[in-house]
Structure 1
Amino acid sequence: MSRRWIFADQLGPHFLDDREQQLLLIESKAVFRRRAFHRQKAHLILSALRHRAAELGDQALHVRTDTYREGLRQVRGPIEVCHPTSRRARDLVRSLDDRVTVLPARGFVTSQADFTAWADDRRGAMRLDDFYRHARRRHRVLLDADEPVGGRWSLDADNRQPPPRESERLDVPPPPLPAEDDIDAEVRYDLDRWAAEGIRFVGRDGPRLFPATRAEATDRLRHFLRHRLPTFGPYENAMLSTDPFMAHSLLSSSFNLGLLDPMEAIRGAERAYRERQAPLSGVESFVRQLLGWRDFVWHLYWYFEAGSRGSDRLGARKSVPAWFADLDADAVQARCLADVLAGVRDRGWVHHVPRLMVLGNYAVQRGWRPSELVDWFHRSFVDGHEWALTANVAGMSQYADPGQLSTKPYTAGGSYVNRMSDYCGGCRYDPKRRLGEDACPYTAGHWVFLDRNRERLPGNARMARSLHQLDRLDNVPAVREQERRRGSTAP
C-alpha cells in the first residue's frame, strides 16, 4: 500500500482518502536556510506541521531532516502525493523515481481539467468576472435557478465605503486567538537555535496569531461567519491604523496551509445569507474571493506555467531597498507606509488593501523589480505562497504581466489613501501636495509613474483621464527631479 506524502500546505483531512492510510511528513531545514523568512511565518509552518504529526500519531512518519530528498531516503515502498503547490516542489516530485505517484491537486474548488477547458475556449482572453460566473454556475453557489441571487453577479461596488470616522474601530468582536502549547514552545526553541547557527529571519517574533490546527481554523471560521461576516462587506477596502484586522476573516493562512477546505467556508457563508444572518454584499464578496479570485490565480499560475514573475511590462529595474526588505518601519515617516510596514514586521500580515494600495502602490511608482517583490511578499507574509503572489503581486499590483489579470496599473496618489483610511491625519506629508518638503510621496510618485510610463500606456482607456490630467500639469519636471533626489531612501 502506498504511503501518502503530505506537504506543510496539505494538512487538512481533505488531502486524505483513507483514515487508516500511512502518511509521511517531512520537515526540511534547508527550506529556511535558502531565504530569510519572517520569523512568525517559519513558526506557523513548523507548528502546523508538527501539530498535524502529533494528531496523526503512529499513522504518520514525521521526518526532520535537512532536505526532502534525505527524508525520502528513509522511506521504502511506493509513495503518492497530491499535486504540490509550487513549481519547485512539483519539479522535485517529478525528478524522483517512478515509485512516486502524483495525484490531482486538492484544496481548491475548480479542478485543473475544468479550468483548462474553460480557458482554452477563451483563447487567452481570460477575465476573473467570466471565470467567477462559470464557477458559480458550475458549483451551484449563490444561485436562484440559474441566475445570481439578488440579480447581480458582483456587489463589489457596494463595498467601497471609507472607514467610519466617528469611531476608532469597527464594532465587531476580535477573532479568537490560538493558545500556544508545548509544540509552539519547541518550535520557538528550535528557531532560536537555528538563528544562532546563522539561519536568518526577518520580522519580529511574537505570540502565534494564526491557526496551526484544523480545530483552531474551524473555530475561527465559525466565529467569522457568525460575528464578523455581517460587517465585512461595506468596509473591506478601508484601512484603520487603530484596527488592522477590522472585519476580515484572518483565514487566508488556514486555507493556504490546507487546514480548511474552501468549499466548506463558501457553503457556510451562503447559509449565513440564506438564514438572514449576513447581508448579500458581504457574503458575495467573501465567496468571490475564495471561489473566484483564489482559484483564478492558482490556475493561472499553472496554466501559463512560466508565469509572470519575471515579466517586466513597465521596465521596472530598481532593486527593493534595504529598509523595505528588512521591514524597517522606524525609518519611514509617511504614516501609512510606516504603519503597514510595521504590521508586516510585527504580525507577518496586513489585509489585502494595504498590500495593494500602500505596499504595492509605493513599489510600482518607483519601478522596483516585480520578481524581487514576489519573493519579498512570499517570505514576509504568513500566508504568502508563490502560486498566489505571482498573479497578485507581479500581475495585478505591479502590472508586469501581458494583461492577464489587470486592465490598468494599481497606482494612486495620497488622495486615495486619505479617502480610504485614517492615515493622513497627523502625517508630516500633505496628500494634496506633489512638490515641496511636505509633498506626499504617493501623490508625487503617482505623477512621476505616469510620466515615466506614458509611452507604455497610451492605448489604455482606463488610464486616459489620468494621462490627460498629467498633460495639464506644469511642474512635472520639478516633481520628477524631486523624486529622483529622494531616490531609494525611506520616505
Structure 2
Amino acid sequence: MTVPHWLFGDQLGPHHLSGLGDVPVVMIESRSVFRRRRFHRAKAHLVLSAMRHRAAELGDRVRYVRAETYREGLREAVPDGGEVTVSHPTSYAALRLVKSLDTVRVLPARGFLVPHADFRAWADGHDGRQLRQEDFYRWVRRSHELLMDGDQPAGGRWNHDHDNREAPPKGARTLGAPAPYRPREDEIDEEVRRDLDRWEREGEVRFVGRDGPRRFPASRREALAALSRFIEFRLAGFGPHEDAMLARDPVMSHSLLSSSLNLGLLDPAECVERAEDAWRAGHAPVNSVEGFVRQVAGWREYVWQLYWYFGEDYRHRNALRHHEPLPEWFLELDADAVRARCLATALAQVRDTGWTHHIPRLMLLGSHALQRGWDPEAVTDWFHRCFVDGYDWVMVPNVVGMSQYADGGRMTTKPYTSGGAYVHRMSDLCTGCAYRPGERTGERACPFTAGYWAFLHRHRARLEHNPRMAQPVRGLDRLADLEELLRGERERGDGPP
C-alpha cells in the first residue's frame, strides 16, 4: 500500500514532493493555529490562500482536511491509522507533534541548501568558537560551487558589502526601480477572506493589521513569475541601496521573495542559480548578485541552521535582562499614535502589508525595542505573528541573536542599534519629523539618539569590554547632558515616541 505524504503549510512547492513518486498527499488546515496567537490578518490570508491553491493544483491526489487541530485532521485524513511520511518540519513545536504520533515517519528537511548533519559537522569543527556568518557563507559558496570561478569568488571578492551600503540618492522620493510583481486575487482568495471575516465576526479568532489585496505569491506559478520579474528587471539595481530607506518607496529594489521561499513555493537553489546566470550573461553587476546570493544562501541558510543547532532553549536567552512588556500601541500597530516619522513609517508598513525590508526591521523596529528594554521573547513573538514571511525558525535567531542581542554575542559581535544619525544618513525619514537626529535632550530630542545613549549607559559594564563597542561607550564620558538625557528617557516611558 502506498504511504501518503503530509504537507505542512510551508512545504508547498514541487521540490517538497520530488523523489516520492505519485504518492497521495495529506494537507491539514488547523483552526487552532489561529486561535492560539493573534496573527497579522494579511499573513493568515496568505498562508490559507497558498495552502488552498496548492490543494487545487494537486486535485484528486490530495486529501485536504479542515479541522480544529492537526491531530484531529490526521485522524480524518487517514482514518485507518496507517503510516504517513512528512518532511522534517520547520519548528520545534511541529517536530514534537509529528514525533509524538506513532504513525508518522519523519524524512529529512527540504527547501534548504545544507543538510543538518553537514552543518553540525562544520559547526562542531569550530570547537565552540563564534560561528561567524561570513565563514559559513564562504563554505556554502565553495561546497555548492556558487558564484565561483574555480576556487576563487566570482568578481574577485567574497563580500561586496562596501558597494551595497549607499545612502538613497539625494532628493529622491523613490529609487525609480521597476515595479515588483504583484499577484491578482482569485476565487480562492475570496473564499479565504469570507472565512476570515466569519471567524472574526463569530469571535473565534482575532487578528491585527490590515488585509488589503494580497501582495505576495500564493502559488508556484505566481512565485516563479515574481522570481522572473526580479531577476530580469530589479536585480541589477538591488545591491547599492539594499540598506537604504525611503518613506514613499518601501520595496525599492528588494526581491519580495522571502514569503515565497518560506512557504516552500520557491527552492533557494533555483533563486541563487538564476541570479548567478544573470551575472554571467552580463545582465546584472556582481555586487547586486552577490548581495542577493548572500541573503539567500548566506543569511537565510545560516539562520535556519542556527535555529536547530542552538537548541530550543535558545529562544529564552535574555543576556541583557530585558523584561519590559511590549506597549499596546506597538502590539496594535498603531502607527498613527507615533510622532517619530521613521518608526511611524515602518509600523504603518507592517500594519498595512505585513512586511518591511531588513533595515526597518533591524534598525528601526528592532533597535527601538532593544533601546527600550522590551522582553526579547515577546519581541520575537511579535515579529513572528506580524510578518508574512515570519516563522519560528526565521525569527528566533534573527530577533534573539541579531536584533535584541539577547544571546550576549553568540551570534553577532555587537548589539545592532544606533542613534538618529544613522537613520538620517540612510533614509529620508528624518525630513519633516517632529524630532531632530542631532538632539539628545529637550522637546525635539530624537528618541533613537537619546535611546542609544541610554542603552549604552544601562549596559556599560558589559559593553565597555566589547572591542566593537568600547569606543562608543567611552563617548558617554563626553556627554555633559547625560543626566538630563536619562531623566528625559525616564519621563518618556513606553508611550509612543
TM-score range, shorter chain: over 0.9
How do 1:175-186 residues align onto structure 2 when only pairs under 5 Å count?
A: 175-186=180-191
Give the % identical residues: 58
Question: How far is 1:19 from its partner?
Answer: 5.0
> Corresponding residue for 2:436?
430
8 Å CA contact retained: 2:464, 2:474: no
Q: Provide the rounded CA distance (Å) in 2 between the counterparts of 1:197 and 1:117.
A: 51
> Corresponding residue for 2:166?
161
Residue 267 of structure 1, aligned match among 273, 295, 307:
273
Moved beyond 3 Å, runs of 4+: none
Task: Note the residue ranges of structure 1 that are not aligned, 5 or more in a row.
Answer: none
> Corresponding residue for 1:489?
495
Question: How far is 1:471 from its partner?
Answer: 1.3
> Corresponding residue for 2:48?
46
Residue 308 of structure 1 aligns to a residue whose secondary structure is helix
Residue 461 of structure 1 aligns to a residue whose secondary structure is coil
Q: Provide the rounded CA distance (Å) in 1 between the counterparts of 2:410 and 2:16.
A: 30
Question: How far is 1:481 from its partner?
Answer: 1.0
Question: How far is 1:331 from its partner?
Answer: 0.4
8 Å CA contact retained: 2:440, 2:485: yes
> Corresponding residue for 1:149?
154
Q: Provide the rounded CA distance (Å) in 2 between the counterparts of 1:483 and 1:402.
A: 24
8 Å CA contact retained: 2:237, 2:253: yes
Residue 62 of structure 1 aligns to a residue whose secondary structure is strand
- Whether 1:191 and 2:193 are equivalent positions in the alignment is no
How do 1:59-208 residues align onto structure 2 when only pairs under 5 Å count?
A: 59-74=61-76, 75=78, 76=80, 77-97=82-102, 99-125=103-129, 126-198=131-203, 199-208=205-214
Number of equivalent positions: 490
- Whether 1:324 and 2:326 are equivalent positions in the alignment is no
Question: How far is 1:304 from its partner?
Answer: 1.3
Question: How far is 1:450 from its partner?
Answer: 0.2
Question: How far is 1:197 from its partner?
Answer: 1.9
Offset from partner CA, 1:189-232 (integer Å, 9 cap, x none):
00000001221000012000000001000000000001000000
Offset from partner CA, 1:270-327 (integer Å, 9 cap, x none):
0011111000001001101111111111011101112432111111110110100110
The more displaced of 209-218 and 152-161 is 152-161
Question: How far is 1:124 from its partner?
Answer: 2.3
Q: Provide the rounded CA distance (Å) in 1 between the counterparts of 2:335 and 2:369.
A: 15
Q: Provide the rounded CA distance (Å) in 2 between the counterparts of 1:180 and 1:149.
A: 40
Offset from partner CA, 1:1-57 (integer Å, 9 cap, x none):
110000000000000024521000000000000010000000000000000000000
Offset from partner CA, 1:102-121 (integer Å, 9 cap, x none):
00001100111110110111
Whichever residue aligns with residue 88 of structure 2, its letter is: H
Q: State TM-score, norm by structure 1.
A: 0.99
The more displaced of 429-438 and 395-404 is 395-404
How do 1:87-486 residues align onto structure 2 when only pairs under 5 Å count?
A: 87-97=92-102, 99-125=103-129, 126-198=131-203, 199-486=205-492
Offset from partner CA, 1:143-179 (integer Å, 9 cap, x none):
1111111221111111010111232212221112111
Q: Provide the rounded CA distance (Å) in 2 between the counterparts of 1:133 and 1:178.
A: 35
Residue 179 of structure 1 aligns to a residue whose secondary structure is coil
8 Å CA contact retained: 1:127, 1:404: no
Residue 26 of structure 1 aligns to a residue whose secondary structure is strand
> Corresponding residue for 2:3?
2
Q: How large is the Cα RMSD of the aligned pairs?
A: 0.8
Q: Provide the rounded CA distance (Å) in 2 between the counterparts of 1:309 and 1:488.
A: 24
Residue 241 of structure 1 aligns to a residue whose secondary structure is coil
Q: Provide the rounded CA distance (Å) in 2 between the counterparts of 1:232 and 1:179.
A: 25
Question: How far is 1:439 from its partner?
Answer: 0.4
8 Å CA contact retained: 1:238, 1:420: yes
The more displaced of 455-464 and 325-334 is 455-464
Residue 254 of structure 1 aligns to a residue whose secondary structure is helix
